[in-house]
Amino acid sequence: MTDLLDELLPTTRRALLHRIAVAQAEGRTPSLVAGVVRDGRLVWSGARSMVDGHAPTPDVQYRIGSLTKTFVAVLVLRLRDEGLLDLADPLGRHLPGTPADDATISQLLSHSAGLAAETPGPWWERTDGGLRPELSDLLESEAPLKHPAGRRHHYSNPGYALLGALVEKLRGEPWGEVLRREVLAPLGMDRTTLLPEHPHAGGFAVHPWADVMLPEPLTDTGLMGPAGQLWSTAADLARWAAFLADGGESVLGGEKALGDGKALDGEKVLAAATLAEMRRPAVGPDNPDWTSTYGLGLQLLRHEGRVLYGHSGSMPGFTAGLWVSEQDGLAALALSNATTGANTPLLAAQLITLTAEHEPRIPAPWRPLPEVDEELLALTGPWYWGAAPHALRLTADRGLELGPLAGGNRSSRFRAEPDGTWTGLDNYYAGESLRVVRAADGTVSHLDLGSFVLTREPYGPDAAVPGGVDPQGWRAY
């Protein structure tokens, strides 16, 4: 029996349909298809078309433009996780002879290498890739850098072309084939391809001052393909959104179906920890009121009080948008076949807001831990860093949470390690080690957190406090 929570309420579906209808009409786009994913399941899809009775289904392909970059980033991070490269490596260590030899792989992923935004010569998006047959054709050899490397975010399409070439070099085969085998097949995304396959939408430009259209060329961009070549469908991108959210683990974990009978095996593609790494900002925003920034292959967007991650996309004749809201357990996507007009990236974000406002996320029931370690349980409760009170909580899988009782930005979660220590996962203590220090008799003396000492009482007379404790102890003046 289908859980009622798998379905959206009629009022929500009506609001979503109204929003895409307005976007298609006011954006003057020939067709538009959209979808909403909740907790890993495609719970709504809708479409509008200029042809009555022929709205596209979720199986119709559209060109997704720079959403392609999210796929390429996953391929690169798979190489890193396998130990074949380090994100701090310069590109030239693995792919020598390009104008970007000194750019690090991390900088290329986050568009912070300072490279030019576009290729020299004719606009690559509307011209055949045969015009740029060599990697050296993708950047000006004399001045490939427009900014100092690592200093600021500057979007670079050629940078991602180079990352695609890096994948080909280390895998020994075309990046599109690597993508199909390592990512698309495990996720059941058999309608995502380098070139269009029937049924697919045609791309159009709509005249700015009259309701007439002009077909856009459907080009094969060659070496620039990793920057924006892919075609996909609403159904496939729903699966991609579920994967980006948590590796597909929200779909009951592991190899499960996303409502269409096909398996989604995200665990074979990328670890959840690496996906979380992708969505952390890699370069600081330019100002404190930032509305968008970039991680490792993922854009981050502030919209209506939410921080979303995903990507926008455009190619001549097409626009696309896909966003995930971690706090709401929601994702949304939108695809259109007009060069300008519908603003599908904004539309996808608006669909998340609409769904969340109509149907706020219902939290999972509280449940006790499946088992308890008495030694770990004894560690919970108050600890003191000097005189500052902190609380330590036990979580699942022997994890810990530590945070100041007075609030602040130093609360962190910790992952248990095989050697009996814990590693910080977020905020100030991310990457730092927490360990239990015992006295000679085996009792717990204190906690050591990256050289910070936490004791069971504030500045106790016998506590192992760096610098010692005044022998007169606490007193009133």
Reading the chain (477 residues) residue by residue, the pLDDT tens digits are: 344 456 899 999 999 999 999 999 999 999 999 999 998 899 999 999 998 888 899 999 999 999 999 999 999 999 999 999 999 999 999 999 998 999 999 999 999 999 999 999 899 999 999 999 999 999 987 788 889 888 889 999 999 999 999 999 999 999 999 999 999 999 999 999 999 999 999 999 999 999 999 999 999 999 999 999 999 999 999 999 999 998 756 543 344 455 565 666 677 899 998 999 999 988 776 667 788 899 999 999 999 999 999 999 999 999 999 999 999 999 999 999 999 988 999 999 999 999 999 999 998 899 999 988 999 999 999 999 999 999 999 999 999 999 999 876 678 999 999 999 999 998 889 899 999 999 999 999 999 999 999 999 999 888 888 888 888 888 888
**Residues 126 and 36 occupy one common structural domain:** yes
Distance (Å, whole) CA 402 – CA 380: 9
Same domain (yes/no): 54, 170: yes
Residue 357 lies in a domain: yes
User: Would you say residue 96 lies in a domain?
Assistant: yes
Instruction: State whether 109 and 65 are in the same domain.
Output: yes
Residue 386 placed within a domain: yes
The domain boundary, picked from 321, 341, 367, lies at 367
Indicate whether 473 belongs to any domain: no
Residue 472, domain member (yes or no): no
CA distances 379 to 376, 424, 440, Å, are 5, 17, 18
SS3 15: helix
For residues 362 and 382, state if they share a domain: no
Last residue of a domain, one of 367, 390, 411: 367
Q: Which residues are 313's β-sheet partners?
A: 320
**440 in a domain, yes or no?**
yes
pTM: 0.89
Whether residue 425 sits in one domain with residue 295: no
User: In this structure, is the dihedral angle defined by the CA atoms of residues 227, 228, 229 and 232, taken in order, positive or negative?
Assistant: positive
Classify the C-alpha dihedral 109-265-183-190 as positive or negative: negative
Say if residue 285 is in the same domain as residue 421: no
Same domain flag for 323 and 422: no
Q: What are the φ and ψ backbone dihedral angles of 145, each rounded to 5 degrees?
A: -95, 135
Nearest 5°: CA angle at 213, between 208 and 216?
105
Give the CATH number for residue 82.
Answer: 3.40.710.10
- Of 347, 367, 387, which residue constitutes the final position of a domain? 367
Quick one: 107 and 52 in the same domain?
A: yes
How far CA 437 is from CA of 392, 416, 423, 440, in Å, comes to 15, 15, 15, 10
Residues 283 and 405 in one domain: no
160 within some domain: yes
CA distances from 160 to 232, 324, 341 (A): 19, 22, 26
Domain that holds residue 259: 1-367
Query: How many other CB atoms sit within 10 Å of the CB of residue 60?
Result: 20
278 shares a domain with 411: no
φ/ψ of residue 153, rounded to 5: -80, 125
Assigned domain for 475 exists:
no
The domain total for the chain is 2
Can you give the pLDDT at residue 254?
Answer: 41
Q: Is residue 309 within 8 Å of 301, Cβ to Cβ?
A: yes
Same domain as 442, residue 344: no
Q: Hey, which residues does 30 pair with through a beta bridge?
A: none
**Are 357 and 382 in a shared domain?**
no
The position carrying tokens 């209506």 is 304
